[in-house]
A and B are shown apart, each in its own frame.
Chain A
Amino acid sequence: GNSVTQMEGPVTLSEEAFLTINCTYTATGYPSLFWYVQYPGEGLQLLLKATKADDKGSNKGFEATYRKETTSFHLEKGSVQVSDSAVYFCALSDVGAQKLVFGQGTRLTINP
């Protein structure tokens, strides 16, 4: 079945550091790919998405490119801020079942 694997956390960085959170997936067909963010005590917010190969999703300085050849959708940000501290979830759409499949989440902490 479809699955999503994220890099192990937690990840701790200093402010203004470069961020990469790895995400790889296994899927049949052509799923859409998503990154969601969960700030402390809140629900999930859609951060960005990509719907086909080579699409780049971007939002709030974050970017991720849909790489079909490597089945990856890594999240990147050039200069992180303390306010980026949150849990980040990679997900794909299970088109046949019309539902999302989530990775295990990566907790990110940014120190000033």
Chain B
Amino acid sequence: SAVISQKPSRDICQRGTSLTIQCQVDSQVTMMFWYRQQPGQSLTLIATANQGSEATYESGFVIDKFPISRPNLTFSTLTVSNMSPEDSSIYLCSVGGGGPTYEQYFGPGTRLTVT
């Protein structure tokens, strides 16, 4: 399985600011995913990021709030824009999703607190 790292591992930010989270993979992958895990909750998919195309956002998530870049096959960023306390969550990137089993492998997550 791929080794995935995320930066930063945690951050405390003020409302109204933006934070960019980086996700680095040790091998080339086609599909990368960004998830949000609110405190005590399950994972919610924010968007799917394929290299060379625009990210595909899930219902309830918009590009203006969560812009995503995918410049190559080993790297992606997620920006949380104009943050409010409701954005306090763990943000996780994952890779995989390809056939035949569509399993995914996750990074360690970025713990974000917005004050």
Q: What B residues does A25 contact at CB under 8 A?
A: none
B29-46: which residues lie under 8 A (CB-CB) from chain A? Answer: 31, 33, 41-43, 45
- Cα–Cα distance between A34 and B102 once the two chains are bound (Å): 10
Determine the residue in chain B with the shortest Cβ distance to A42.
B108
Q: Which of B94, B97, B109 contacts A42 (CB 8 A)?
A: B109
Q: What A residues does B43 contact at CB under 8 A?
A: 44, 89, 102
Q: What A residues does B103 contact at CB under 8 A?
A: 32, 34, 46, 49, 93
A interface majority secondary structure:
strand
Say whether A43 contacts B106, CB under 8 Å: yes
- Cα–Cα distance between A111 and B37 once the two chains are bound (Å): 26
- In the complex, whether B105 has a CB less than 8 A from a CB of chain A is yes
Q: What A residues does B106 contact at CB under 8 A?
A: 36, 43-45
- In the complex, whether A70 has a CB less than 8 A from a CB of chain B is no
Q: What A residues does B4 contact at CB under 8 A?
A: 43
Say whether A103 contacts B42, CB under 8 Å: yes
- Cα–Cα distance between A46 and B103 once the two chains are bound (Å): 8
Q: A residues near B, CB below 8 A?
A: 32, 34, 36, 42-46, 49, 51, 89, 93-95, 98-100, 102-105
Q: B residues near A, CB below 8 A?
A: 1, 4, 31, 33, 41-43, 45, 48, 92, 94, 97-98, 100-109
Pick 27 A–B contacts, CB within 8 A, sort by A: A32-B100, A32-B101, A32-B102, A42-B109, A43-B4, A43-B106, A43-B107, A44-B94, A46-B103, A46-B104, A49-B103, A89-B42, A89-B43, A93-B101, A94-B102, A98-B97, A98-B98, A98-B102, A99-B45, A99-B48, A100-B45, A100-B97, A100-B102, A102-B42, A104-B41, A104-B42, A105-B42
